[in-house]
Structure 1
Amino acid sequence: MSAPKVLVVLTSHDKLGDTGKPTGWYLSEFAHPYDVLNAASVSLTVASPSGGPSKVDPSSIDAAKDDKISTNFLNSSATKPLFESTHPLSDFVGNPSAIAPYSAIFFPGGHGPMFDLSVSPESQQLVREFWDAGKVVAAVCHGPAALVNVKLSDGSSLLQGRKVTGFTNEEEDQVGLSKVMPFLLEDKLKEAIGTEGGFEKADAPWGEKVVVDAGGRLITGQNPASAKGVGEAILRVITAKV
């Protein structure tokens, strides 16, 4: 029996609006799920809209300076190639045989996904193809930005009536980037959910919150503190399916 595989999708966007500051994907939100999944012999492949190098947000490196899991992930020769030479999304989109080996697709956060993955037709199609194939769709923090505009084959929103979480308006306010973002993720998630289902969040900002819905097929985490829990949830679901 072969080990399960997960396709990770990182952002190709590395500029924080018009501030001139760099952004990208958030280190701990990839490192901690990777640590959980890799320890269980889950194989990870990494893609991005443009392919090639995907930039890690420098602020997330600074935030993780005392986080051994994240610093080891960033500097290890075994993991660097994952984000320094990503596959383009076009390698997978519209190619059932390419996605067949994968049990899940996972979107780490960072502010980059708010700018590119939220509006990428290729990313949206790939999510739809994973969903239609009965696979797991997972995201953490700003990663759910990749899901807000996904439409299923029947034209309905992927998130309609679902229970979902993601980076909250209050957390965005506290990092001082609400006015820089193209939209507020909490607002957009609520819009996609509609009147049924619900947006869920931790009792206080920055608290851990992982929401599992649709029989385990939809997994979302609120913020960096939720990254490990998202990895654990993905592992539970995909190993149960193998």
Structure 2
Amino acid sequence: MLNLKYLFIGVLSALMFTACGTDNSSQSKETMGSAKKVLFVLTSHDQLGNTGEKTGFWVEEFASPYYFLKDKGVEITLASPKGGQPPFDPKSDAPESQTESTKRFKADKDAVAQMASTLKLSTVNEADYDAVFYPGGHGPLWDLATDKNSIALIEAFYNAGKPVSAVCHAPAIFKDTKAQDGTPLVKGKKVTGFSDSEEDAVQLTDIVPFLVEDMLKENGGIYSKGDDWTPYAVEDGLLITGQNPASSELVAEKLLEKLN
């Protein structure tokens, strides 16, 4: 009888352990499934007009938001119009342009590998993500501003009630995006982006295909800005925009608040 008693206790304990293990497993899966997913879209354009110089995305505008969000548990996927390695602006890799986040990126083998294998934009589905973020650099002025896949993606995110964020030159993506009524997406909305005075300061006013500040105003956006080169970001509903490289993390902060 004593042996049967201990056998019964053992079986009961095993059943309880299994049940608890199942609950923990389910809870773990549920926790893993709750991570927010953000799509980063980078430029594939590397020519700075007819200057013969190279351009692309600005490294700080990628690295700063990337690590801010990643460190908070956000899952990040990278995409670009052509897929693969997107070009970075050589000036953003200069010693004077380095920040803690750019240094961290250079030393991060996993992030560097992820950057080298961005998804082709045409294969991306809005339904797979909770928000989209566009880093700047001059490159987007030439490709993402008019890229049909990018335009359709932005409109899909917005119409699905998901945040659309961009910093510095990346608000160029709103050049041809439309609201459901056919009007410019930024019409009547508070926005910011690389200012005319900042473009003049880098002596590229006559090189770029259009000025971000002027385009946003022409599209009916309620444009505002801070002092040149200082952090400044604006949120209006689902749209979050930042003025310059220094505004990158501030945009990411506002995006995370929106996601939570």
TM-score, normalized by the shorter chain, greater than 0.5: yes
Give me the identity figure in percent.
46
Matching residue within 207, 231, 234 for 2:255:
234
Deviation at 1:67, TM superposition (A): 1.5
Aligned amino acid, residue 253 of structure 2: E
> Any stretches of 5+ residues in structure 2 without a counterpart?
1-30
TM-superposed deviation, 1:63: 5.2
Confirm or deny that 1:211 pairs with 2:238: no
Residue 200 of structure 1 pairs with residue 224 of structure 2: yes
Shift of 1:81: 2.2
| Higher normalized helix content (fraction of residues) | 2
Deviations 1:19-73 (A, max 9, x none): 1101000010011101110110100101111111101111001155541211221
For residues 64-79 of structure 1, the aligned pairs below 5 Å read 66-79=98-111
Tell me what 2:23 maps to: none
C-alpha distance in structure 2 between counterparts of 1:56 and 1:83, whole Å: 11
List structure 1 runs of 4+ shifted beyond 4 angstroms: 63-66
CA contact (8 A) 2:48 2:139 kept: yes
Shift of 1:153: 2.7
Number of aligned residue pairs: give it. Answer: 228
Contact 1:12 1:55 in 2 (8 A): yes
1:167 aligns with 2:194: yes
Asked if 1:61 is matched to 2:93, the reply is yes
| RMSD (Å), alpha carbons | 1.2
Structure 1 residue 224 and structure 2 residue 245: aligned? yes
Offset at residue 108 of structure 1 (A): 0.3
Q: Deviations over 1:185-239 (max 9, x none)?
A: 11001111x2xx510100x21111110102xx11000001100101111111112
Q: 1:118-167 CA distances to partner (integer Å, 9 max, x unpaired)?
A: 11111100000111111000000001001121012321111010000000
What letter is aligned with 2:74? Answer: V
Letter in 1 for 2:224: E
SS at match of 1:129: helix
CA radius of gyration, larger in: 2
- Matched-pair contact (CA < 8 Å) for 1:27–1:74: no
Alignment-mate amino acid for residue 222 of structure 1: Q
Gaps in structure 1 of 5+ consecutive residues = 93-97
Q: Which has the higher contact order (CA 8 A, sep 6+)?
A: 1
Amino acid of the residue matched to residue 254 of structure 2? A
Which shows bigger deviation, 41-50 or 59-68? Answer: 59-68
Q: SS at the partner of 2:240?
A: strand
Q: Residue 130 of structure 1 aligns to a residue in which SS? A: helix
Change (3 A) 1:63 1:191: farther
Quick one: which amino acid aligns to residue 173 of structure 1?
Answer: D
